[in-house]
Amino acid sequence: MNFHRNHWLLLGTIFFGFIGLAFIIAILPAQWMQSNTAPLPQAKPLSDLEQRGLEVYIAEGCVACHTQQVRPLPMDSPWGRPAAAADYALLGPMDIWRPYSPAVLGSARTGPDLSNVGARQSSETWQYLHLYNPRSVVKDSIMPAYPWLFEPATGVEGDAPVMTVPEAYAPKGGKVVPTPQGQALVAYLLALRQIPIEGAGSMAKASTTKNSQAGGSTKSGPGDDASAKGATLYANNCASCHQANGQGLPGTFPPLAGNAVVLAEDPSEHIDTILHGAQGRTIDGTEYASPMPGFADQLDDDQVAAIINHERTSWGNDAPTVTAEDVAGRREAGGK
């Protein structure tokens, strides 16, 4: 039989061969993995609001630029620990019409990976401003704005949070409120928090690994470039809110340049703020309602000290520096 001359036989072999290989190589292993992979012990299913946020995330095409799969590579270490199959065990079908889990892993890394964005950037206010106009909080961002997820503030907004937008990007009136879709999307983004896996390393440990592989060290000591380390840690953890120049965002995130807490002789309040966060403080006559997250679980004592020393010696600040031992003492005291 001239197999190569029988077009129908050749086409049928190719077609059914492809279907068979797809089942063997992709579909059956995926079904087995989904059926036999248990979620991590501390994992919780998405709430109704977060589930709606996932639908908005998919509808707005966020997966086109953002992944949710941290690779075991040094370049991915700032985004969290390497992803594991158990991270996706609770990601089920959207509804009866969409019987497969949504494709949120992504492949394009135009923007940062979002697997741990809820822990990495836990400020609800920052997330809203970033959606309204990314340039309002990240000057060089190339992410498109999503103003249709917001409405002008009218004075009576119910439970919707009112966002004061920086003047350069503000609409008429200067304030906006997120729509239900915007609130759901931010709730979903804040729910994206990796659960630590023993042996896999935390976000802070991952950063330590990257630094070590680059030939550096996260421990201060003779010969270390402590200033560069503090600047890097500040850029990765603080600059998105307080800005690279330490000026913050007026009325939203306080400045660190000339800040009385940063310049204080006694660094206790400065250390406590970074370890445990803060909310509702009045600085230089301006009230800042946006909560600042604490970094006690993400950063070790030496890293916190490096950030504090960077803040105390940058942008014209000239205050006494601290040591990792100072941070350890405040951490043990548990003060806020």
| Residue-wise pLDDT tens digits, 49-99 | 999 999 999 999 999 999 999 999 988 888 889 999 899 988 888 888 877
- 238 with 167, same domain: the answer is no
201: confidence class by pLDDT, cuts 50, 70, 90 = low
- 62 with 174, same domain: the answer is yes
Q: Within 13 Å, how many C-alpha atoms sit on residue 77's CB side?
A: 17
Residue at 179 is within a domain: yes
Q: Check which CATH number belongs to the domain holding 60 and give it.
A: 1.10.760.10
- 186 with 236, same domain: the answer is no
Instruction: Summarize pLDDT for 202-258 with one digit per residue, the tens.
Output: 444 444 434 433 333 334 443 357 788 899 889 888 888 898 899 988 878 899 999
What pLDDT, on a 0 to 100 scale, did the predictor assign at position 174? 84
For 72, the 3-state DSSP assignment is coil
Instruction: Summarize pLDDT for 249-301 with one digit per residue, the tens.
Output: 887 889 999 999 999 999 999 999 999 988 778 877 788 877 788 888 888 99
In Å, how far are 58, 221, 302 from 232, measured between CA atoms? 32, 17, 13
- 271 with 183, same domain: the answer is no
What pLDDT, on a 0 to 100 scale, did the predictor assign at position 194? 92
- 316 with 261, same domain: the answer is yes
Q: Determine contact, residues 303/216, Cβ cutoff 8 Å.
A: no
What pLDDT, on a 0 to 100 scale, did the predictor assign at position 1? 59
Average pLDDT over residues 114-133: 91
322: confidence class by pLDDT, cuts 50, 70, 90 = very high
Residue at 7 is within a domain: no
The rounded distance, in Å, linking the Cα atoms of 129 and 135 is: 9
- 246 with 128, same domain: the answer is no
Average pLDDT over residues 163-176: 86
Helix intervals (H) in the chain = 7-22, 28-36, 48-59, 117-120, 124-132, 180-191, 203-213, 226-237, 239-242, 260-263, 268-276, 301-312, 324-333
Whether pTM exceeds 0.85: no
Residue at 147 is within a domain: yes
Range of the domain at 249: 226-333
Average pLDDT over residues 191-199: 88
Instruction: Summarize pLDDT for 12-60 with one digit per residue, the tens.
Output: 999 999 999 999 998 888 778 777 888 888 899 999 999 999 999 999 9
The rounded distance, in Å, linking the Cα atoms of 303 and 295 is: 10
Residue at 111 is within a domain: yes
- 59 with 171, same domain: the answer is yes
Residue at 181 is within a domain: yes
The rounded distance, in Å, linking the Cα atoms of 189 and 194 is: 12
Count up the domains in the chain and report the number. Answer: 2
- 167 with 77, same domain: the answer is yes
- 182 with 53, same domain: the answer is yes
Q: Within 13 Å, how many C-alpha atoms sit on residue 332's CB side?
A: 6
Residue at 214 is within a domain: no
- 162 with 247, same domain: the answer is no
Average pLDDT, the chain: 85
What pLDDT, on a 0 to 100 scale, did the predictor assign at position 29? 86
Name which residue leads in pLDDT, 318 or 252.
318
Report the candidate in 188, 184, 152 with the shortest Cα–Cα distance to residue 171.
152
Residue at 276 is within a domain: yes
Last residue of a domain, one of 165, 191, 217: 191
- 175 with 252, same domain: the answer is no
What pLDDT, on a 0 to 100 scale, did the predictor assign at position 182? 96
What pLDDT, on a 0 to 100 scale, did the predictor assign at position 258? 92
Say which DSSP state 24 is in. Answer: I
- First-to-last alpha carbon distance for the chain, in angstroms, is 83
- 251 with 185, same domain: the answer is no
Residue at 119 is within a domain: yes
